[in-house]
């Protein structure tokens, strides 16, 4: 708790502005105004934008006593007396706060001037999804919808523009906007509470998230931050064109990723899968954004034998292909999440993440005999700038063994099970 505009951590150090992903990146969140949005009279202002915030003006005589309480846990978070100050709770995720302010005269007479219990019903609530990555947003958005339904709030969700056409018709009760548009909106001064969703790698004191996202899963962390049931649920999609793109039976694949550890690093794996599918009469459609991807001297090409439908296409077009596919086969990357959202049977090949990290699929392929789950190990912070990140076995024969040791045979057996299910 702090009497300044930023809150100190439990050790007394100033808490930095939250920076999911990379600390050097520009702040991805819209920060709240310096003066809290709710006017309680007598110069007192409060809101719940980035934690509970209370502004107490300087008194010519006497002082204030302010108390912040977690109503659901019957815990006093802060109580103190001061002549003036700007209080801000250390914890920034959802807490059902009560704010109490008492005016204490110089003779000791006490007068209660504010008692407010958090109630989001019919209030304007801002939820920020700060990155444009496909999997994160698809995984997080159902919890935004759950919060809106549970709270009865008027929810505004800031997210990347590319997602708005995908969600707008499916979630008419949520106002979707971009960060840039909302920064210029007069509604900023009416926001009652703000919740920032993200992957907070350095949040050892659990300031921005109740528990480490690596423990609960990439998507479920949004449920914990918003204080709703973290049970996973696929987002709803409404497609303007959901007709079948081709008549023949087909399977979609996506082989590319943003880091080499996410790839299926078995050199002949995809070739074997494509041959297996073609023998069963399927066309194999590659829907990656790019036909090749990599960094430095390491580049990954579209597998031979797959039909090339790569390109910078609208997400709705990708979802259309996925909706009518008999199966999607991919790695731990965004198109797997889109397949899940489209209701398509999904086979995911991943070793660097623990299965708890992503949505459940009965056709998740991982080798427990190889090194695995480094992404979910807090001892190893993911380096977004190192395409060849392999924290346990870099520059050794065991680099990327987590997926290298997943055999083609194991994958094709699971493909057969999925296609026959």
Q: List, by residue number, the catalytic residues.
A: 136
Q: Are 250 and 344 in contact (CB under 8 A)?
A: no
What residues contact residue 73 under an 8 Å CB cut-off, 6+ apart? none
Angle at 131 between CA 125 and CA 132, to 5 degrees: 110
Helix, strand, coil percent content, the chain, rounded in steps of 5: 25, 25, 50
Q: Tell me the Ramachandran region of residue 303: left when phi exceeds 0, alpha when psi lies from -120 to 50, beta otherwise.
A: beta
Q: For residue 362, which of 417, 324, 401 has the smallest C-alpha distance?
A: 417
> Which tokens belong to 113?
């001037």
Closest C-alpha among 209, 260, 383, 150 to residue 391: 383
For residue 201, CA distances in Å to 27, 246, 260, 334, 387 come to 15, 43, 20, 20, 18
DSSP alpha helix (H) spans, 213-268 = 213-216, 220-226
- The SS3 call for residue 64 is strand
Q: Which residues contact 299 (CB under 8 A, 6 or more apart)?
A: 292, 293
């Amino acid at each position: 708790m702090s009497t300044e505009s930023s809150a100190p951590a439990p050790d007394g150090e100033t808490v930095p502005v939250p920076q999911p992903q990379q600390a050097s990146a520009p702040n991805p969140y819209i920060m709240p105004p310096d003066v809290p949005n709710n006017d309680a009279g007598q110069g007192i202002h409060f809101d719940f934008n980035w934690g509970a915030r209370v502004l107490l003006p300087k008194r010519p005589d006497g002082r204030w006593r302010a108390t912040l309480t977690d109503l659901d846990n019957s815990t006093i978070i802060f109580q103190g007396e001061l002549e003036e100050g700007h209080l801000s709770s250390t914890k920034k995720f959802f807490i059902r706060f009560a704010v109490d302010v008492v005016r204490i005269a110089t003779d000791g007479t006490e007068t209660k001037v504010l008692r407010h219990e958090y109630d989001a019903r019919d209030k304007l609530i801002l939820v920020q999804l700060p990155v444009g990555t496909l999997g994160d947003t698809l995984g997080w958005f159902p919890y935004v919808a759950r919060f809106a339904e549970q709270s009865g709030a008027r929810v505004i969700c800031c997210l990347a523009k590319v997602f708005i056409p995908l969600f707008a018709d499916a979630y008419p009760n949520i106002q979707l906007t971009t960060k840039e548009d909302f920064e210029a909106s007069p509604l900023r001064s009416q926001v009652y509470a703000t919740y920032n969703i993200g992957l907070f790698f350095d949040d050892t004191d659990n300031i921005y998230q109740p528990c480490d996202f690596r423990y609960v899963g990439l998507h479920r962390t949004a449920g914990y931050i918003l204080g709703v049931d973290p049970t996973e649920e696929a987002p709803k999609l409404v497609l303007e064109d959901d007709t079948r793109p081709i008549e023949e039976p087909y399977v979609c694949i996506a082989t590319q990723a943003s880091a080499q550890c996410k790839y299926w690093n078995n050199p002949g794996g995809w070739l074997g899968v494509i041959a297996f599918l073609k023998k069963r009469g399927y066309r194999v459609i590659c829907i990656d954004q790019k036909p090749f991807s990599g960094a430095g001297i390491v580049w990954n090409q579209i597998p031979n034998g797959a039909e090339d439908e790569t390109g910078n296409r609208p997400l709705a077009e990708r979802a259309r292909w996925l909706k009518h596919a008999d199966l999607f086969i991919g790695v731990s990357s965004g198109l797997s999440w889109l397949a899940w959202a489209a209701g398509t049977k999904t086979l995911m090949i991943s070793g660097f993440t623990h299965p708890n990290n992503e949505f459940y699929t009965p056709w998740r392929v991982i080798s427990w005999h190889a090194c695995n789950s480094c992404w979910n190990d807090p001892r190893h912070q993911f380096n977004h700038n190192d395409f060849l990140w392999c924290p346990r076995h870099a520059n050794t024969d065991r680099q990327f063994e987590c997926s290298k040791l997943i055999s083609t045979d194991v994958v094709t057996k699971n493909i057969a099970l999925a296609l026959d299910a």
